[in-house]
Amino acid sequence: MEEESKGFKTLSDIFKALGFPVRVEILKILERNPLRYSELMKTVRLDRFSDAGKFAYHLSKLMENGLVEYKPESKIYVITPLGKDVLNHAMNLFESLRRKENVLLVRRTDSSIELFDRKRIEECLVREAGMDQDTAETIALEIEERLYSLGVKYLTAPLIREYVNAVLLEKKMENYRHRLTRLGLPVHDVSELISVKRGLDDVVNEAGEEVLRQYAFLVKLPRELGDAHLSGMVNINHLASFMFKPEEPVNSLESLSLVKTYSYIPFSSGQSPLKQVAWRIVEAFSSSSMHANSLLVNTDDLELVEEFLKSIAISQRKWNVILSAKLESVVFEILRSLAEIAEKTVLPNFSLSLVGYDKKVSEEGFANTLTKFLNAGGALILAGSQNSCPTHHLTVLNEDADNYVRTGVLSSVSLNLPRILENASLNEDAFWENLGEIVSRIVEALELKRESLRSIIEDRKLLPLSCRINGETYFLVEKGCSIIELTGLYDASCRLVGSQDASASFPEAEKIVKKVNELAHKSSKRENRVLVSLVSHEEAVQRFGGTRVNVFPRNMTFEEWFRFESRLKSLTPESNIIHLQGLEELGSLRKAGRASFLMYSPKTMCASCGRIYPASEEKCFCGSYLRTAF
């Protein structure tokens, strides 16, 4: 009798030891994996400072009753055989209670199972959605009653979140629902990505970008602008990283040498690690921008320049190399090195900007090297002014390139003018009203982007742009500019006048450009520099259609077309760039004015024979359809 009484006493102590949910949680965690003290405390989600005494007390009770054991040789805690038996009996008891009393069990995302507790919903509504405590308690109580009435066996944490969102939607609590939304992709979408992407890295990148796009819509962007993007009236270019990275920083070889991240490696010619330095810098700066980088060559160190040209070409990242008239003594050697690179690989993401060389491009030596570059798929930009800074984005900033070093293009948003006109039912007054509202929202978003980027860079979250140089960050956000692009300008102006004739549509196109300029200037603050561009981002063109650079179609004589194009482009100096079909057309111009010129014909490389051929061709001359993945 005494022995039986002693056994019941031990059993009673064990049940008392399980009297706290945290102790059951400790047993479940240790059943999966033995852990050290600090790891176990972190897994149980207790604070190592404020909850230290509480955790030590609960753990000691489990050890006193033989449910948990400490292994001093490995400094880990393990569940004992008795602890496993007790845990299994406890979980069976939970299941019996659930069946008998309709107890709800929740499977969490960390694979643990626990009893449903509405307090968790209350805490989530207050912490994540910003709801006041009284309202959160009322909502949580209603959700608890609804869930119990369903009679389900198990719930998952994501399912409960979806259910909470459904209740918030039903009660028209949209603001709270947005903040509580879970970001991610359905299983079917992930399966589709895996089946269509070339590699798993592409799947990971695309899935990550989709989560960030959802985050931008729900948290970062003004609601009205997000709706305009989804409805196709605007395109927020590079939406996934819009709030986190600049679109195109402008660098120089001199400024890159100041970046302290790489200061332990010599940054000059004649040093063996020069190639590694160039490659690392190209990769690091490519990763820190949304779209591209511009590099101003302001040194006559040919070896250094050649290594950067090679690194840019091999990386296949988007870079724009700027050569100014100040380098006249070595520019031909640089071009010859670039021509040698162009003979060996395709250059679909490489643009070369020549500033102050408009009279030299027709000379035989210049023309031959530039032709080789163009034949490899490179883009050639000839700046119309010596005091300008061309970019890969095809914006020609109207100041000396040195003034834009360590800053650049922060972001761009494209207006889909035909869609805005359709939304106004082709009514001109409604069109102007809609346009004004959308431009105002875009400017607001560009200001938010500027503040977000400034905070990220100052917090050193975007290396190497966050590197400190003489007390300030490498990238200077306050000196950067943002761009509003007019996509489909010709189409919209033709619809407004009811004619496809260029001379008839020109006045309306001119009116739209002037109006958007006025709206952008009126809506933006002095420190938030916003430019209007007639050049559309390639992302917007892919989505909305139309042409990227030229506004007017070339269905007239070259001279007449150029007259219309150059007159309209002169209204937006930063996008006063005209796409010509080759150097021959440039030579035929009698008067170019202050326009800049782009020469570019996309090329690709055959994966079978290595031949470079026009990207518009369906297959290579050798008969292969396989292309290199650039």
Least confident stretch, 9-13, 168-172, 231-235: 9-13
Asked whether residue 416 falls in the same domain as residue 358, the answer is no
Whether residue 191 is contained in a domain is answered as: no
Asked whether residue 390 falls in the same domain as residue 527, the answer is no
Residue 380, helix vs strand vs coil? strand
Q: What is the largest CA-CA distance in the chain?
A: 117
Whether residue 322 is contained in a domain is answered as: yes
Asked whether residue 365 falls in the same domain as residue 432, the answer is no
pLDDT in tens, 343-381: 888 898 999 999 987 677 777 778 889 999 999 999 999
Asked whether residue 410 falls in the same domain as residue 535, the answer is yes
**Contact predicate 22/60, CB 8 Å:** no
CA 535 to chain centre: 21
Return the pLDDT at 112: 59
Whether residue 597 is contained in a domain is answered as: no
Confidence of residue 1 (pLDDT cuts 50, 70, 90): very low
Q: Nearest Cα to 397, choosing from 379, 381, 413?
A: 381
**Contact predicate 417/486, CB 8 Å:** yes
Mean pLDDT, rounded, for 222-240: 92
Asked whether residue 389 falls in the same domain as residue 302, the answer is yes
Q: Return the CATH number at 11.
A: 1.10.10.10
Q: Is the pTM above the cut of 0.85?
A: no
Residue 300, helix vs strand vs coil? coil
Of 97, 126, 151, the residue at which a domain comes to its end is: 97
Asked whether residue 149 falls in the same domain as residue 109, the answer is yes
CA 561 to chain centre: 37
Return the pLDDT at 501: 92
Asked whether residue 363 falls in the same domain as residue 464, the answer is no
Return the pLDDT at 265: 44
Asked whether residue 466 falls in the same domain as residue 324, the answer is no
Q: Tell me which DSSP letter residue 499 carries.
A: -
Confidence of residue 90 (pLDDT cuts 50, 70, 90): confident
The type of residue at 175 is: N
Whether residue 596 is contained in a domain is answered as: no
The span from the CA of 564 to the CA of 557, in Å, is: 11
Confidence of residue 273 (pLDDT cuts 50, 70, 90): low
Asked whether residue 91 falls in the same domain as residue 147, the answer is no
Return the pLDDT at 97: 62
Angle at 608 between CA 602 and CA 614, to 5 degrees: 15
pLDDT in tens, 586-597: 888 866 677 899
Return the pLDDT at 506: 96
Mean pLDDT, rounded, for 201-225: 84
Whether residue 623 is contained in a domain is answered as: no
Asked whether residue 267 falls in the same domain as residue 383, the answer is yes
Q: Tell me which DSSP letter residue 218 carries.
A: I
Kindly list the distances between the CA atom of residue 28 and the CA atoms of 32, 34, 43, 66, 128, in Å, as whole numbers in the listed order: 7, 11, 11, 15, 28
Range of the domain at 256: 248-394+606-614
Report residue 66 as tokens.
């033989």
Whether residue 229 is contained in a domain is answered as: no
Residue keyed to tokens 């790891």: 39
Confidence of residue 485 (pLDDT cuts 50, 70, 90): very high
The span from the CA of 512 to the CA of 428, in Å, is: 11
Return the pLDDT at 13: 82
Asked whether residue 569 falls in the same domain as residue 468, the answer is yes
Q: Nearest Cα to 506, choosing from 564, 574, 554, 549?
A: 564
The type of residue at 11 is: L
Whether residue 476 is contained in a domain is answered as: yes
Of 79, 97, 115, the residue at which a domain comes to its end is: 97
Return the pLDDT at 110: 53
Return the pLDDT at 162: 87
Quick check: 533 pLDDT over 60? Answer: yes
**Helical (H) or strand (E) element with 170:** helix 157-170
Asked whether residue 54 falls in the same domain as residue 172, the answer is no
Q: Where are the alpha helices (DSSP H) in 316-427?
A: 331-342, 364-375, 417-423
CB atoms inside a 10 Å sphere around CB 536: 29
Return the pLDDT at 262: 46
Tally the domains of the chain.
4
Of 161, 180, 199, the residue at which a domain comes to its end is: 180
CB atoms inside a 10 Å sphere around CB 72: 6
DSSP result, 249-292: EEEEHHHHTT-GGGTTS--STT-TTHHHHHHHHHHHHHHTSSS-
**Contact predicate 377/349, CB 8 Å:** no
Whether residue 353 is contained in a domain is answered as: yes
Confidence of residue 151 (pLDDT cuts 50, 70, 90): confident
Least confident stretch, 103-107, 563-567, 623-627: 103-107
Report residue 170 as tokens.
């039903």
The span from the CA of 352 to the CA of 598, in Å, is: 10
Report residue 464 as tokens.
């190497």
Residue keyed to tokens 């980088």: 293
Quick check: 161 pLDDT over 70? Answer: yes
Return the pLDDT at 182: 73
**Contact predicate 538/348, CB 8 Å:** no
